[in-house]
Amino acid sequence: MSVPSSTILPRSNPISGETDDMLEFDGAAEILRAWGAGLTPDPDLTVSEWADRHRMLSGRASAEPGRYRTARTPYMREIMDRLSPGDPTQRVVFMKAAQVGATEAGNNWIGFAIHQAPGPMLAVQPTVELAKRNSRQRIDPLIDESPELRERVKPARSRDAGNTMLSKEFAGGILIMTGANSAVGLRSTPARYIFLDEVDAYPASADEEGDPVTLAEARSLTFAHRRKVLLVSTPTIRGLSRIEREYEASDQRRYFVPCPHCGAMQWLKFDRLRWQKGRPETAEYHCEGCDAAIAEHHKTAMLEGGEWRATAVAADPTTVGYHLSALYSPIGWLSWERIVRAWDAAQGSDEAIKAFRNTILGETWVETGEAPDWQRLYDRRERWTSGTVPAGGLFLTAGADVQKDRIEIDVWAWGRGLESWLVDHIVIEGGPDRHEAWGDLTDLLGRTWPHEHGAHLKIARLAIDTGYEAPAVYGWSRAQGFAQVSPVKGVEGFNRASPVSGPTYVDATEGGKRLRRGARLWTVAVSTFKAETYRFLRLERPTEEDIAAGAAFSPGTVHLPHWVENEWLKQFVAEQLVTVRTKRGFARLEWQKLRERNEALDCRVYARAAAWIAGADRWTDEKWRDLEDQLGVIDASADPAGQINRQTQTSQGKRRSDWLGRRGGWF
């Protein structure tokens, strides 16, 4: 083996005597210090240690500004440290309640990567718009408040493509921020680190190119064992929740804390939280071991003494999963008393209980898709003047289902709280190849239905299904204009935040060129509206005595007229929601037919989508009051004794009807 020549040794020392003369200039000492600092290895920190040492929380982005302290949320320590380069874990799954510190922990990881272990990173929010908001409200303060990060990330400049709102370059890497709705953003660059935030709010497909989570994770595969992926979300619906699916495939860790009385280790469950009825301030947790009451002031010590324990065997040993409810929120955040108050306030509303389970317990909601009994609906039919819109109905929408030999239309009236009445059922004989059928459908748009208070209402918006003979539907819709007609396409899946999306231009010329002013197609998450309809049908109804005493129907109540037939009722409840298993063993929800014909349910879904498109879900109280004023409807809360003369209301309604007829529009 050859021995290195000693002639190179003097050159290895830049401050040897023969180079002293070379360093006699201003700034030489600073250069030497910087050079020496560059040779000094960075301290071997974990993500949580880095956060405690370097992270500062801004008043713009945190309710508790100042230095970040992992001790405030001890349960986040292990989760963050799993993301450190020295840990063999590749994928971390965190199913959690809202506001338990998960996003800040993810931002700590981003800061750690920029400072300690640079590499390409991809951070994904549900939409591009949310990614921009997160960049302004979270990432910019993260960088601005930490000197170590400010030194490494250049400020955004309009002429610098490397540092913009959605990309931050730093030595050795880049942070790309995008939305799960952008396939281009998800496949933009390889990424060693991937932060997927609120994955249950991701769309089913990114620009129709596939599952956003799969697309994003594919960016990290070339980094093999060095990759790190963090999936975080509040869960949504059982069988559809991405984060639940990932958690159930993991080792399913729970945070066990000690009882301050007997020391028994346990993870906190809502059914162990107890209080005196009507007194949420008495809320206490009862130990599983000794059943002693634990006051909330013990929580700080319990969290400090807690530890994560696996409760299952992971399908992939490189994946770890964590679940945490808001019962663990530190003192000063969400108290047990406020949790109890939220639970009490949610009683009587499926929507409120669902939100409680998702955001406070961090658990999925089980949709009850059992079909109501059609005979029970038959017995609950109501009588009002045939062909008339009842007093509570304030506007009309219609849903049209195109079949091979007919077009079926149901007209629904909608009132406050989305209370609804079936006003008409129409069958136009002849399918889409019969020109006269389209003419009859056009005539329906100009028809009016008398309101109980004298006005005459037109269909505010008609939603028509494009599942059969879509080109014919597009052509007719284009001819009618988009103000009153909305072609819709139903897709499976739940999307409560935005069950209707669009519109997109889908019409084309004979040569295949897209028409900029062609038909506007709306996409409808039909599962959402089917489940909502069944939930509304299960609402308790006041008795005749209650109604006589002034009781009102619950928001969402569905009123069916006496003339509706058995066949229509059977179609209205012709499907049920069932849980099926995929080939990979994951559970998912699927609507299955109980009988062949289901046009009544489909038409209801389309009419409900039309109400959404019209904006009814987002109208203010002033908007509803304006509709009531136009129709001469008196809000029951404003006239509880019914003292206003009905004849006066009717004459007012007729005058408004005449005025609205001249004005044009819905009435």
- For the segment 125-137, what is each residue's pLDDT rounded down to a tens digit? 999 999 999 998 8
Residues 426 and 504 in one domain: yes
Examine the pLDDT at 337 and tell me if it is beyond 80. Answer: yes
Q: What is the pLDDT of residue 659?
A: 32
How far apart (Å, rounded) are the C-alpha atoms in residues 66 and 59? Answer: 8
Coil vs helix vs strand at 7: helix
Residues 320 and 449 in one domain: no
Compute CA distances 33 → 28, 30, 183, 484, whole Å. Answer: 9, 5, 46, 73
Q: Average pLDDT, stretch 580-595?
A: 71
- According to DSSP, the residues that pair with 579 across neighbouring strands are 589
Q: Average pLDDT, stretch 481-509?
A: 80
Residues 316 and 391 in one domain: no
Q: Is residue 586 part of a domain?
A: no
Q: Is residue 366 part of a domain?
A: no
pLDDT tens digit sequence for 105-126: 999 999 999 999 999 999 999 9
Residues 318 and 434 in one domain: no
CA-based diameter of the chain, in Å? 114
Residues 319 and 432 in one domain: no
Q: Is residue 346 part of a domain?
A: no
How far apart (Å, rounded) are the C-alpha atoms in residues 170 and 168? Answer: 7
Q: What is the pLDDT of residue 595?
A: 84
pLDDT tens digit sequence for 63-99: 778 889 999 999 999 999 999 998 999 999 999 998 8
Question: Regarding predicted confidence, which is higher, 307 or 185?
Answer: 307
How far apart (Å, rounded) are the C-alpha atoms in residues 290 and 264? Answer: 8
Residues 317 and 396 in one domain: no
Arithmetic mean of pLDDT over the chain: 84
Residues 450 and 521 in one domain: yes
Q: What is the pLDDT of residue 144?
A: 87
Q: Do residues 242 and 202 touch, judged by C-beta distance below 8 A?
A: yes
CA atoms within 13 A on the CB side of 492: 8
Q: What is the pLDDT of residue 38?
A: 57
Q: What is the pLDDT of residue 414?
A: 96
Per-residue pLDDT band for 538 (boundaries 50, 70, 90) equals confident
Q: What is the pLDDT of residue 634?
A: 60
Question: Regarding predicted confidence, which is higher, 209 or 533?
Answer: 533
Residues 68 and 175 in one domain: yes
CA triple 244-247-252, angle to 5 deg:
130
Q: What is the pLDDT of residue 638?
A: 44
Q: Is residue 517 part of a domain?
A: yes
Examine the pLDDT at 469 and tell me if it is beyond 50. Answer: yes
| Burial 150-171, CB ≥16 within 10 A → b, else e | eebbeebeeeeeebeebbbbbe
Radius of gyration of the chain (CA): 31
User: Which is nearest to 605 in space by CA: 349, 412, 425?
Assistant: 412
Q: Do residues 271 and 283 touch, judged by C-beta distance below 8 A?
A: no
Query: To which H or E segment does residue 610 belong?
Result: helix 599-614
User: How many domains are contained in the chain?
Assistant: 2
Task: Calculate the CA 82 to chain-centre distance.
Answer: 27
Per-residue pLDDT band for 649 (boundaries 50, 70, 90) equals very low
Q: Which of 12-16, 383-387, 567-571 has the lowest mean pLDDT?
A: 12-16
- According to DSSP, the residues that pair with 193 across neighbouring strands are 121, 228
Query: To which H or E segment does residue 438 belong?
Result: helix 435-446
Compute CA distances 554 → 347, 415, 465, 473, whole Å. Answer: 13, 11, 30, 36
Q: Average pLDDT, stretch 175-201?
A: 88
Q: What is the DSSP string of 487-529?
A: EEEEESS--SS-SEEEEEE--B-TTSPBPTTS-EEEEEEHHHH
Examine the pLDDT at 379 and tell me if it is beyond 70. Answer: yes
For the chain, what percent of residues have pLDDT higher than 70? 84
Q: Is residue 57 part of a domain?
A: yes
Residues 418 and 318 in one domain: no
Q: Is residue 292 part of a domain?
A: no
DSSP single-letter state for residue 50 = H
Residues 79 and 227 in one domain: yes
How far apart (Å, rounded) are the C-alpha atoms in residues 207 and 203? Answer: 9
Q: Is residue 177 part of a domain?
A: yes
Residue type (1 letter), 221: L
Q: What is the pLDDT of residue 194?
A: 95
Q: What is the pLDDT of residue 512?
A: 54
Coil vs helix vs strand at 9: coil
Residues 408 and 547 in one domain: yes
Q: What is the pLDDT of residue 10?
A: 43
Q: Average pLDDT, stretch 607-630?
A: 92
Q: Is residue 632 part of a domain?
A: no
User: Which is nearest to 500 in space by CA: 481, 528, 540?
Assistant: 528
Where is the domain boundary, 301, 324, 347? 324
Q: Do residues 89 and 47 touch, judged by C-beta distance below 8 A?
A: no
- Residue 175, domain CATH: 3.40.50.300
Examine the pLDDT at 486 and tell me if it is beyond 70. Answer: yes
pLDDT tens digit sequence for 425-437: 999 998 888 889 9
- Locate 207 and state its tokens: 């620009």
| Burial 71-82, CB ≥16 within 10 A → b, else e | ebbbbbbbbbbb
Can you give the residue range of the structural domain that contains 195?
47-252+312-324
Among the residues of 26-101, which ranges form H helices? 28-39, 47-54, 76-81
Residues 426 and 318 in one domain: no
